[in-house]
Structure 1
């Protein structure tokens, strides 16, 4: 503000007088002097303004310091009118005299960032890095759940568009997530029967909607995989175009079936199984394990081929 009014100004940095310890120190040529204790809490800064004929005049605008303290007065010894220490470019045509600095460089103050600006503003504290680390951990923990929900939503849209294999794959993944994976030698019908047997009281129990959903998805998958191929359209006949985007009502219907199936599995699972299925679904973690191990499997096959070793199926 002083510079806006054309008054040269600078900031002096030093220490307050501190506290008397009650002891004395003998200084050659000055005799016994009282001893003061000064630490980082006494670090202080104050402005000084330059006036022609007076030199640099200290001011003390800090609250609770209504008068200029003795240490500020001592730091501003009378100077020649032409002495513009630390500000030779503030007055036109003025030249700086080679004098000692108003204050000596102080030791770094504990707890104050060394990269802080000269205005005394503290640098950024450690809390942004801490918040970022917490957010990264939460995002990493929620990643399997978000991936699983994304896969389910994609399959629901595919099933609503007429892809029977999508609904069946979602059924199998739900079984894996809740501890009911298919056996390697199990047919879809056998797995469907075991799946329905895990639900409460069968077709007439509280899980009857989930029970019927398993039946419908199994029948659609078997018809698609093992049924006769669709008859080709007769020559000259016009086939109705298939809908590329399913209607909202069909999506809601398929979503209701899958949600009922997931709710039935959740109701019949233990707390540990529910926690694992929601936050660490095996259907996602198993895929992640296969993706991560794929380079090692490929390297092993390449090494076996180079060495002429027998190859076994993975």
Structure 2
């Protein structure tokens, strides 16, 4: 990636520099376009649910910038050997989520491939003066997470045929949930920084926020919201390979007081369609949490921001 040409345009407000969730291009003083794309292989067997999860995951990048998605295009790869009706169910799942988001689905592109893949290219809009970025967190900010963690661990348990129907249902429910509702509430508050939690895990995305802000983020792991079954499976060692890659990449910038515990594995667990991580003023945190709970999109205070310490991320 470092060898790719650099593009300079004063209207490009967010590019690749801070590994933010989407690109943002300013159109006018009051309007900027958010552009993002994401797709992946199935994480569940049900094609309709897979379509919903993949679409919710792609739409999430727009919400993480404080924006609203408006136009989506399908991206799909599908094997010739499978029944075409399966692809139809995947696309229906994605379409239903786009409709729930209040956006329009305007076509897309499909290729033949050995393994199914699905996702969306999404365009959204935001007022550039009110845009959220994955940097800008300030000392004293409270960190609020809007979805439980553990989808990677549960997916590993599913592959091992260990997860119960209740555990699978809980994981699917959180992965198909749009971050729209948390975003709609949070825009009424002064959000200093925001990112969504996906494949880099909570630790990875928190690290991006910490480095971009030149702050240290402290995570209180005993407060982390967790999906049913995750604690037991993590203790059994059912940790996805992506979690170990995340840990290896990040470990030099992390100070852990919980080394060797299942909670430490949890913060590196790669998430699919995870929640928003919001850095909000301490005096606003309680009201924001109350509003989230009242409107059915509960959040959890999981840490705080401090001035830069020796390490960017502290796990307690």
Of structures 1 and 2, the one with the larger relative CO (CA 8 A, separation 6+) is 2
TM-score over 0.5 (shorter chain): no
Larger relative helix fraction: 1
Q: Which has the larger radius of gyration?
A: 1
Q: Using structure 2 for the length normalisation, give the TM-score.
A: 0.20
